């Protein structure tokens, strides 16, 4: 066979192998990699529904000690967590020992200490479930139900990078005010028969308090990460300027990802793929407000990108803000495991899994029908974006094997 013919045959074989890789991965069950990911999904799916009122019965440890032992460089909780329902139940029922204004930030929150000394963040309900937040994709108050839904989406996607969140109803008069600091107490007021507070934050105003129905306020409780895992804050490379008429570089430079790849910690290790995972996560929930992100300190770039502060999500179910996906469509890279999980979730599986995962929550129903439908619709958009990358540059350059599994310290 002549050299030219051999080259043609070799190119044809490589092309067919690339098509086969796409077909096997997209099909969900055709390859060893896909079968492994499918088994992982089935395991997660079997544990998706959480029992109400669960309690720890097989250990003398507190729920907080159990949850603290789960945390590692690449996960907030492991893939098998039979105690998860009990920990979430404790978060939603444990006695409040102390209440204070929230830590630094732009949005209203309270810092609570639960029985046993566990710190948590309480975000109050500001909107009814069917309220649509108009305007910019990052507009409006924080949505407490968005924090709950985002945590369960993190479970469904298999990322396990979001702190635990659960809904809770708190009596402000009997549970909070008796143990509140003077600083928090000074922000309480009455609107008619409803107890309200406005806290302390950049945008907190006495004229815009959060109000209970009577004395009982619905909100979300987020478990504080263990102090032995201090956080480091990073500016997101695809952050917005939040200035009218001023664009960030990524908004006009289509080759921006090549510059990011040359900057630590994105030039090596898992961080860039974490950013891309997060972009898909944020697009699904409609979160265009991740201007910074956190990792664990002194990690050498190996720590996961922790999915904190997801409350600017699920504001407008009709808005699909494609710019959130910029890290994906500019870098055209995605983990094979993420790609496989997303394919398993298409065809309505994602919204069904979200319904099942949140059915136990005290704040159920967490999402309305339009927001659940938006999850499925946006998932199709993510899959189409990855397919376009594969068509443009090939499967081998788009689908990246990265199964870093660092041991716990």
pLDDT grade for 27, boundaries at 50, 70 and 90: very low
Instruction: Decide which of 309 and 300 is more confident.
Output: 309
**Amino acid 128: pLDDT:** 97
Predicted confidence (pLDDT) per residue in 351-366, tens digit:
999 999 999 999 999 9
The closest alpha carbon to 211, from 172, 185, 180, 183, belongs to 172
The residues pairing with 44 across neighbouring beta strands, listed in sequence order, are none
Domain ranges of the chain: 69-223, 231-241+248-400
The closest alpha carbon to 166, from 110, 85, 244, 235, belongs to 85
pLDDT grade for 379, boundaries at 50, 70 and 90: very high
Cα–Cα distance, 194 to 141 (Å, whole number)? 19
Token pair for 221: 């409780």
pLDDT grade for 7, boundaries at 50, 70 and 90: very low
**Amino acid 52: pLDDT:** 87
Instruction: Decide which of 22 and 97 is more confident.
Output: 97
For the chain, give the secondary structure using H, E and C: CCHHHHHHHHHHHHHHHHHHHHHHHHHCCCCHHHHHHHHHHHHHHHCCCCCCCCCCCCCCCCHHHHHHHHCECCECCCCCCCCHHHHHHHHHHCCEEEEEECCCCCCCCEEEEECCCEEEEEEECCCCCCCCCCCCCCCCCCCHHHHHHHHHHHHHHCCCCCCCEEEEEEEHHHHHHHHECHHHHCCEEEECCEEEECCCCCCCCCCCCEECECCEEEEEEEECCCCCCCEEEEECCCCCCCCCCCCCHHHCCCCHHHHHCCCCCCCCCCHHHHHHHHHHHHHHHCCCCCCEEEEECCCCCCCCCECCCCCCCCCCCCCCCHHHHHHHHHHCCEEHHHHHHHHHCCCCHHHHHHHHHHCCCCCCCCCCHHHHHHHHHHHHHHHHHHHHHHHHHCHHHHEECCCCCCCCC
CB 362 within 8 A of CB 169: yes
pLDDT grade for 30, boundaries at 50, 70 and 90: very low
Question: Residues 133, 138, 144, 146: is their CA dihedral positive or negative?
Answer: positive
User: Was 175 annotated as part of a binding site?
Assistant: no
pLDDT at residue 32 above 90?
no
CB 334 within 8 A of CB 104: no
Q: What is the mean pLDDT of residues 294-320?
A: 93
Active site residue 289: yes
Number of residues in the chain: 409
Question: Average pLDDT, whole number, for the chain?
Answer: 90
**Amino acid 11: pLDDT:** 47
User: Was 222 annotated as part of a binding site?
Assistant: yes
Predicted confidence (pLDDT) per residue in 107-131, tens digit:
999 999 999 999 999 999 999 999 9
Predicted confidence (pLDDT) per residue in 232-250, tens digit:
999 999 999 998 889 999 9
Q: Which of 37, 100, 282, 289 is catalytic?
A: 289
Predicted confidence (pLDDT) per residue in 141-154, tens digit:
999 999 999 999 99
Q: What is the mean pLDDT of residues 73-94?
A: 96
Lowest mean pLDDT among 10-19, 284-293, 347-356: 10-19
The closest alpha carbon to 339, from 402, 293, 271, 283, belongs to 402
**Amino acid 62: pLDDT:** 95
pLDDT at residue 13 above 70?
no
User: Was 338 annotated as part of a binding site?
Assistant: no
**Amino acid 8: pLDDT:** 43
Residue 218 CB partners (closer than 8 Å, separation 6+) = 124, 125, 144, 167, 168, 169, 363
pLDDT grade for 137, boundaries at 50, 70 and 90: confident
pLDDT at residue 173 above 60?
yes
User: Was 225 annotated as part of a binding site?
Assistant: yes
User: Was 223 annotated as part of a binding site?
Assistant: yes
**Amino acid 59: pLDDT:** 80
Q: What is the mean pLDDT of residues 332-349?
A: 96
CB 178 within 8 A of CB 86: no
Dihedral angle, C-alpha 12, 15, 16, 20, nearest 10 °: 170
Predicted confidence (pLDDT) per residue in 201-214, tens digit:
999 999 999 999 99
**Amino acid 104: pLDDT:** 77
Q: What is the mean pLDDT of residues 158-179?
A: 98
Instruction: Decide which of 44 and 366 is more confident.
Output: 366
**Amino acid 31: pLDDT:** 53
**Amino acid 105: pLDDT:** 85
Token pair for 136: 């910019």
User: Was 118 annotated as part of a binding site?
Assistant: no
Dihedral angle, C-alpha 383, 388, 391, 392, nearest 10 °: -140
pLDDT at residue 21 above 50?
no
- Residue 399 phi/psi, 5-degree rounding, is -95, 110
pLDDT at residue 28 above 50?
no
């Amino acid at each position: 066979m002549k050299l030219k013919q051999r080259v043609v045959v070799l190119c044809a074989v490589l092309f067919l192998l690339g098509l086969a890789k796409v077909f096997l991965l997209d099909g969900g069950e055709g390859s060893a990699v896909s079968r492994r990911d499918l088994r992982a999904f089935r395991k997660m799916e079997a544990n998706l529904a959480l029992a109400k009122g669960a309690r720890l019965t097989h250990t003398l440890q507190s729920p907080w000690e159990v949850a603290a032992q789960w945390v590692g460089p690449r996960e907030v909780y492991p893939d098998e967590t039979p105690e998860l329902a009990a920990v979430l139940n404790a978060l939603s029922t444990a006695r409040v020992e102390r209440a204070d204004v929230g830590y630094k930030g732009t949005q209203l929150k309270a810092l609570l200490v639960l029985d046993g000394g566990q710190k948590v963040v309480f975000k109050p309900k500001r909107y009814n479930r069917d309220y649509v937040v108009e305007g910019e994709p990052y507009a409006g108050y924080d949505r407490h139900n968005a924090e709950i839904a985002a945590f369960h989406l993190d479970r469904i996607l298999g990322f396990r990078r979001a702190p635990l969140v659960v809904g809770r109803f708190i009596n402000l008069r009997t549970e909070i005010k008796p143990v509140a600091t003077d600083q928090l107490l000074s922000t309480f007021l009455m609107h008619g028969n409803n107890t309200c507070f406005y806290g302390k934050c950049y945008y907190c105003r006495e004229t815009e308090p959060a109000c209970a129905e009577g004395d009982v306020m619905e909100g979300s409780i987020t478990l504080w990460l263990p102090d032995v895992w201090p956080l480091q804050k990073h500016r997101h490379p695809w952050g917005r300027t939040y200035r009218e008429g001023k664009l960030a570089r990524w908004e006009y430079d289509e080759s921006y990802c090549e510059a990011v790849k040359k900057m630590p910690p994105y030039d090596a290790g898992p961080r860039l793929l974490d950013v891309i995972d997060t972009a898909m996560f944020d697009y699904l929930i409609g979160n265009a407000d991740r201007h910074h992100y956190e990792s664990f300190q002194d990690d050498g770039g190996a720590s996961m990108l922790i999915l904190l502060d997801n409350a600017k999500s699920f504001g407008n179910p009709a808005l699909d803000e494609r710019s959130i996906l910029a890290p994906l469509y500019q870098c055209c890279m995605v983990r094979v495991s993420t790609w496989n999980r997303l394919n398993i979730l298409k065809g309505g599986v994602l919204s069904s899994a979200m319904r099942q995962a949140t059915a136990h929550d005290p704040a159920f129903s967490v999402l309305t029908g339009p927001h659940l439908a938006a999850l499925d619709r946006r998932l199709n958009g993510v899959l189409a974006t990855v397919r376009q990358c594969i068509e443009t540059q090939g499967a081998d350059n788009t689908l990246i094997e990265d199964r870093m599994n660092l041991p716990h310290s």
